Amino acid sequence: MKIFISLGDLSARNYVYEIFKEGFEDWELVGITDSKLESIGIKSVASISQISVVGITEALSKVWEVRRVFKRAREALKDCDVLLACDAPGFNLPLIKEAKKLGVKKVIYFISPQVWAWKPRRAQTVATYSDHLVVILPFEREIYKRYEGKDFKVHYEGHPLVDIAKPTLSREEFLKGAGVEEDFVGILLGSRWNEVKKHAPLLREVLREVKLGVVLPTFAEFEGFLRSNFTEAKILTEASMEKPSYNVLSYSLASLIASGTASLEGALLGCVHGVFYRVSPLTYLLGKLLVKVPYVSLPNIILKKRVVPEHINPDPKELRKTLSDLLEREDLRNRQKEAFSEIRHLLGEKGVVERLRNLFREIMKIS
C-alpha cells in the first residue's frame, strides 16, 4: 500500500502527525511534508511552505511555485494506491480530480473545505471525486448528508484538537522556563510568513501601552524577525520548550490571536482572547462579498454567536481597547470561559485521534 498525503498548512500537519505517527508502519507514506512529518517516515515530494498562503491576492505571488508542486504531486500519484487530501481546497480539489483520472484506487478527503462560509459548490466536487470524507466539525456532516450513497461516505469522529490541545508544562514550570511573571499577555501572530510580516507592525502598536509582560510563541524561522520587532517580549519556540503556544494559551491572562485554528485551540485551552487579521484591501473587499457566515473565528462559528471579539484590518487603538477590556473585565473573561466549555462538549469525547487512526486504517484498505 502506497499512500500520498497532500496538505498545505500546519494545522493539518499537526493532525496528520498525531494520527499517522503509529499504526501505519506496514504502509508506504509519501506526500507534501515538513521535517516533523518526515520524522515519522513520510517521504517528501514537496514542502508545505511552498504552497501555504492565505488570501486571494496574497496567493498570486506563489502561483508558479504552487503549479510546480502540483505537477510533482500528480507525477507521484501515478504510483500510489490512495490519496489522502487534507483541506487546502485550492490545491487539493484539482488534485482529487487528477487522482480519479490517473486511476488512484481510493480518494479520501480529510477536513472539509469551508463550504459553509463560501464557495458551497465545492461540497459537490468533494462528493463527486472522493470515496470518503472525514469532517472535524459537527455541523459539517449535515451539509454533506444529501450526497451520501454507495460511492461516497461521510465520517465524523470528533475534532483532533480535543486530544491534541493541552499544555506540556505546569503553570509553575512554564513561568519559570519562560522567565515571566504570573500575569502576562499572549500574542499569536500566525503560522505563515505573510501573516507574521503583516501582523507584526500592528501588534507592536497595540502593545505600546500594555503594562503586563508579553509572551510570543512562534516558529524557529520567524524568531530573529520577531526579536528585532518585539524587544521587550519573551519569544518562545520549540527550541525553548515543547508546544510553546499551548502553554502560552493555557496560562496567559488574555491573548490576541491571528484568526485561524489557533483561536479554536485557545478556546479548548480556556484562553480568554480576541481575534485579529490583516489582509490586502482587495482580499478584504472580495471576502465581504463572498463569505456567507457572520463570523471569522471558529469558536464563534461553532457557537453561532459572538463570544470572541473579532477585528479584520483593525486600527491599533481598536485592538488595544479589546485587550484592555479582556484584562480588566472579569465578567467578559467568565463569559468566554463558560462558552468555551460548551465548545469542548460539542467537539466530541476524548480519544478522537485514536478513533481517526482506526478509521483511516479501515477506509484506506483496498479490497
- Residue 65 sits in the same domain as residue 199: no
- Residue 49 sits in the same domain as residue 30: yes
Residue 164 lies in a domain: no
CATH of the domain at 29: 3.40.50.2000
- Residue 74 sits in the same domain as residue 178: no
Q: Which residues contact 168 (CB under 8 A, 6 or more apart)?
A: 241, 242, 243, 246, 247
- Residue 151 sits in the same domain as residue 57: yes
Q: Is 246 exposed, middle or buried (0-12, 13-18, 19+ CB in 10 A)?
A: buried
pLDDT tens for each residue of the chain, 367 residues long: 999 999 998 899 999 999 999 999 999 999 999 999 999 999 999 999 877 655 554 455 567 888 999 999 999 999 999 999 999 999 999 999 999 999 999 999 999 999 988 889 999 999 999 999 999 999 999 999 999 999 999 999 999 999 999 999 999 999 999 999 889 999 999 988 889 999 999 999 999 989 999 999 999 999 999 999 999 999 999 998 999 999 999 999 999 999 999 999 999 999 999 999 998 766 656 666 566 778 999 999 999 999 999 999 999 999 999 999 999 999 999 999 999 999 999 998 999 999 999 999 999 998 7
Instruction: Decide: pTM greater than 0.75.
Output: yes
What is the bridge-based pairing of β-strands 2-7 and 28-33? parallel
- Residue 41 sits in the same domain as residue 135: yes
Q: In which domain, by residue range, is 76 found? A: 2-159+349-363
Domain count, the chain: 2
